[in-house]
Amino acid sequence: MRALQMPPLITRKLLPSSSPPLSLPRSRPLPNKTIIRARSSKPQSFLDLSHEAKPECLAIDLQWHEPSNSSSYDAVIVGSGPAGLRLAERASAHGIRVCCIDPSPLSAWPNNYGVWVDEFEAMGLEGCLDKVWPMTTVFIDDRNTKHLGRPYGRVCRKRLKTQLLQGCASNGVKFHKAKAWKVEHKEFSSAVTCSDGSELKASMVVDATGFTSPFIEFEGPVRNHGYQIAHGILAEVEGHPFDTDKMVLMDWRDSHLGNEPWLRPRNDKLPTFLYAMPFDSKLIFLEETSLVSRPALPYVEVKRRMVARLRHLGIKVERVIEGERCLIPMGGPLPAIPRNLMGFGGSAGLVHPSTGYMVARTLALAPVVADAMAECLGSTRMIRGRQLYRRVWAALWTGERRRAREFYCFGMETLLRLDLKGTRRFFDAFFDLDPYHWEGFLSSRLSLGELLALSLSLFGHASNPSKFDIVTKCPAPLARLVVSLALQSM
């Protein structure tokens, strides 16, 4: 739900952890951002504002690959998003010789990332948050609001990327500014051909380019993803009705459709919610989101619903500082394992199938993958080729993680079958669970046994109509879950 990306979209800065929250000026545009200005003095909505792009590049002294150098690396990582840089940093800390390939390794990441604060604290990355809300809010409907005592934060993309790049530079990681066009494998090594004609050789190639990677093959003939789609803006507004101490995780209210009756039938069937980060009384990040649908809800429909919602809430946009669109494939099969190519991040199926969260989990799993790489690449046994990839894939997708993912996919299939009323009933019961369960579910840290306990507890907390939804709409996904878990346990 919050690694925000348009493939490879979330989705979605080096200061000490004691740094104060970001203080964003209201009297002038933020520097080096995408500014959207009105075409006329009286725009009808934020959609009538035009874009003026101001790309930003980080000023960090990196080591660059010399194309004339024919020596081989231990690992070549394609992509310098959060997944690629975190893995490069962790792997190089083991002494592994790493080169990252990316067309623009110093460009700032364009999309917003929201995370649970405890997840970043566990990794020592809390200093990479530019704003923290002590509480989160879920509006089930106009009469039912839940306040969750779990702090939520917005990632400072510049701070996080700076920290990761500086770690890479300190560990001797080299960078090559190009696109990877082709990956070829021999028995014990691989070669990446780039858009500039250069060829980089390595014992191992890792694809960290995201969901739309052309290099990763998947299990089975049908991908069968669900899709999360959203439209977001960071905007200066005349005012908004939200508490600046609370982040709005989900707003399922639909009273804004009272004046837009033609939008209501589709929203009843395929609902969207508002996700909002209020920085202060005039600055706010707003995002209209379809949690999951198959096929993806049309993007224009999401924007129309957002216009109707903001109009109803009385939010008048004066300036859009950043605008983004998000499309996240969720669930579906895992990559074909093993094979002579390692994936990481979106290309490795790390998106949470029920929520779309990925960034924090990917950052947390990078040390696990790096340890497995070091065990093989740094070993005197010189483990290479197919056995190398088999071991690293096995470290990422252990049997327990694969079984838990099947359960999360079952959660996604359940959500796909619920209309607005059913979705409201589901989350009403879900956030009434013990925080250990709902927090663990959203953070992908529950064991299969704990997930089964969560299911029983959820069914117990559910209303009778919600139980009816589960019994009547979920037998097929439940049967597939049981069969899949049985096959994996054989």
Positions of the chain with pLDDT under 70: 1-44, 50-53, 220-222, 338, 379-381, 482-483, 485-490
Residue 380, pLDDT score: 64
- The last residue of one of the domains, among 379, 396, 413, is 396
Whether 206 and 83 map to the same domain: the answer is yes
Within-domain flag for 278: no
Whether 339 and 483 map to the same domain: the answer is no
The distance from CA 44 to its chain's CA centroid, rounded to whole angstroms, is 32
Nearest residue to 85 (alpha-carbon basis) of 195, 169, 177, 185: 169
Residue 238, pLDDT score: 95
Within-domain flag for 407: yes
What whole-number distance in Å separates Cα of residue 423 and Cα of residue 229?
A: 17
What is the value of pTM for the model shown?
0.87
Q: How confident is the prediction for the chain on average, in pLDDT?
A: 87
Whether 204 and 99 map to the same domain: the answer is yes
Residue 412, pLDDT score: 94
| Three-class DSSP category at 191 | strand
Which residues form the domain of 204? 63-108+155-219+334-396
Whether 178 and 189 map to the same domain: the answer is yes
Whether 212 and 355 map to the same domain: the answer is yes
Whether 211 and 84 map to the same domain: the answer is yes
CATH of the domain at 212: 3.50.50.60
Whether 349 and 212 map to the same domain: the answer is yes
Within-domain flag for 31: no
Within-domain flag for 230: no
Within-domain flag for 224: no
Within-domain flag for 116: no
Residue 43, pLDDT score: 52
DSSP 105: T
- The last residue of one of the domains, among 350, 380, 396, is 396
Whether 433 and 444 map to the same domain: the answer is yes
- The last residue of one of the domains, among 349, 374, 396, is 396
Whether 100 and 190 map to the same domain: the answer is yes
Whether 80 and 213 map to the same domain: the answer is yes
Can you list the positions of beta strands (E) in 208-316? 226-237, 246-251, 273-278, 283-293
Within-domain flag for 208: yes
Residue 396, pLDDT score: 97
Nearest residue to 413 (alpha-carbon basis) of 365, 359, 477, 355: 477
Counting every residue written for the chain, the total comes to 490
Within-domain flag for 428: yes
Count of other CB atoms within 10 angstroms of residue 22: 16
Apex CA 449: angle with CA 448 and CA 452, to 5°?
85
Whether 469 and 444 map to the same domain: the answer is yes
DSSP 323: E
Total count of domains within the chain: 2
Whether 188 and 211 map to the same domain: the answer is yes
Count of other CB atoms within 10 angstroms of residue 416: 17
Residue 467, pLDDT score: 84
Residue 5, pLDDT score: 41
Query: Which amino acid, one-letter code, is at 252?
Result: W
